[in-house]
Amino acid sequence: MLRRSFIAGLLMLGVAVPAHADKVSDAMDMVKRHAGQKLEWDGPTTGPKAAEGKTIVVLAGDLKNGGILGTTNGVEEAAAAIGWTVRVLDGAGTVSGRTASFGQALALQPDGIIINGFDSVEQQVGMDAAKAAGIPLVSWHSSPVIGPNPDIGVFVNVSTDAMEVSAASAQWAFADAGGKPGVIIFTDSTYAIAIAKADRIKETIEELGGTVLEYVDTPIAETSNRMPTLTTALLQRYGDKWTHSLAINDIYFDFMSPALAAAGIKGDGQPKQVAAGDGSESAYQRIRANQYQSVTVAEPLNLQGWQLVDELNRAMQGAEWSGYTSPLHVVTSENIAFDGGDKNSFDPGNGYRDEYKKIWGK
């Protein structure tokens, strides 16, 4: 019965059943915990009522990044529900752009600032100025720390457990390769969180007994220029040894497909692309079509936007943070239809919008 149940689980997740299934079975058991529907609300049910008439600024690291765009959309939706005004400033993927945006945000004298999708220590001067002005800061993916990060002046950093996300992506690749993956990892050393995630992927693959062929450090902001030629070079270097690409988010795969197609690799062929976050719209489209991406370990971006607003409301009123860590979701072609998949996102059906409105008295 146990063997039949395991095989059914593998098939549900679109993974071929290997001849030797011990380590593979253990890896897939871990993945399956994150592949089911998310129907129960496990977040906060109490907190301060809505602070009235507030204006906040979202400092978006780069709105071309699907994760940052998704959380920004969630913030705008939640702000409308709580009754706040939102101003979004796009850092456009550069340090200078983010610095200029931070300066503009401070000049607006908002009631709160959301740092969205870039390493907060990069903008420590602006953060110190915000602290001196008494402007509370919350963030999304600004550091490897989840929750309060007083050392860098952040009331709450919102994220799924990045180490679990990374481990789940590596475990899926290991199982899909029948225990013999040849992996290339893509990350960006500009961000501490990106390095932490990539290191966890590497550690997991090697602990399981797989092979990391190469650890590639290439800037997220330059993926459109670098990934086509980089992909071609890696194919020439590793050929059939390269079974899986593991990247710290989906954006690397936005620009890999043409090079794979030009090399005669089919959309469902190897190397298979697996993203440790964020669950972008383009990733969902590729997975649904079986075209050059097999998995994204998605975050509930819209929900996280709502959490950012809730945490900022708590910060404004001197309350404690909610203590909530949002769920992750392993998305494959087999389970893509539920929890928002029909709209190309991981949007849990757990009623989070109504739950937050109840807290805010809306």
Tell me how far apart the alpha carbons of residues 72 and 133 are, in angstroms, rounded to a whole number: 24
Q: How far is CA 131 from CA 31, 53, 138, in A?
A: 41, 21, 12
Tell me the average pLDDT of the chain. Answer: 92
Is residue 104 very low, low, confident or very high in pLDDT (cuts 50, 70, 90)?
A: very high
Strand order in the sheet with 137-140: 85-90, 55-60, 112-116, 137-140, 154-158, 147-149
The yes-or-no verdict on residue 12 having pLDDT over 80 is: no
Is residue 19 very low, low, confident or very high in pLDDT (cuts 50, 70, 90)?
A: very low
**Cα 158 versus chain centre, distance:** 11
This model's pTM is above 0.95: no
| Burial of 114 (C-beta count, 10 Å sphere; 0-12/13-18/19+) | buried
The DSSP secondary structure of 34-93, one letter per residue, reads TTS---S--S----PPPPTT-EEEEEES-TTSHHHHHHHHHHHHHHHHHT-EEEEEE-TT
The yes-or-no verdict on residue 223 having pLDDT over 90 is: yes
Which tens digit of pLDDT belongs to each residue from 166-196? Answer: 999 999 999 999 999 999 999 999 888 899 9
pLDDT reported for residue 10: 52
Handedness of CA 239, 229, 251, 345 (dihedral sign): negative
Tell me how far apart the alpha carbons of residues 228 and 322 are, in angstroms, rounded to a whole number: 42
Domains of the chain with CATH codes? 55-160+301-326 (3.40.50.2300), 162-298 (3.40.50.2300)
- Give the closest residue to 346 by CA, choosing from 37, 11, 14: 37
Look up residue 123 and give its two tokens: 């903008």
Tell me how far apart the alpha carbons of residues 27 and 22 are, in angstroms, rounded to a whole number: 9
